[in-house]
Structure formats: C-alpha cells, structure tokens
C-alpha cells in the first residue's frame, strides 16, 4: 500500500478538488491534455461523482 504524509494527502485532495471545480465542468476533451501531460492520455477522465468518491476514500483511508 502506498504511504503518504498528511501534507501529501492535503495536496492530493486540493488537486482533486481543483480538477472537480475547474476541469470536469468542461468535459473529457478539456481534461485529456492534462492526462496526456502525466503519461496517462489513454485513461478516461473521472467524472464528478467518481472524483467525489475518490476524495472520500482518500479521507477515510488516511484517517484510520
């Protein structure tokens, strides 16, 4: 399992929140270049619900 610090967790959650607010509303075509930048262009961008669920999983997993 990946171990992350509280600081890393906070930054990941902030980045996901930014993605949720600033990228997702514009659709997959807007998101794809960002995925390509990190070498994951073949992946389908997560939608609003999937990002919210991921954020909750990160919060729960790290609060144990």
Taking only the tens place, the pLDDT of each residue in 30-42 is 999 999 999 999 9
Q: Which domain holds residue 21?
A: 6-62
Domain assignment of residue 27, yes or no: yes
CB within 8 A of 47, min separation 6: which ones? 24
Q: How many domains does the chain have?
A: 1
pLDDT band at 2 (very low <50, low <70, confident <90, very high): confident
For residue 64, pLDDT over 90 is answered with no
Domain assignment of residue 25, yes or no: yes
Q: Using CA atoms, how far apart are residues 40 and 26, in angstroms rounded to an integer?
A: 19
* Residue 44 token pair: 């389908």
Provide the pLDDT for residue 62. Answer: 64
Domain assignment of residue 14, yes or no: yes
Domain assignment of residue 33, yes or no: yes
Domain assignment of residue 1, yes or no: no
């Amino acid at each position: 399992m990946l171990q992350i610090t509280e600081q890393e967790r906070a930054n990941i959650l902030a980045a996901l929140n930014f993605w949720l607010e600033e990228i997702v509303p514009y659709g997959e075509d807007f998101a794809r270049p960002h995925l390509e930048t990190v070498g994951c262009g073949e992946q389908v961008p997560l939608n609003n619900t999937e990002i919210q669920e991921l954020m909750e999983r990160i919060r729960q997993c790290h609060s144990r």
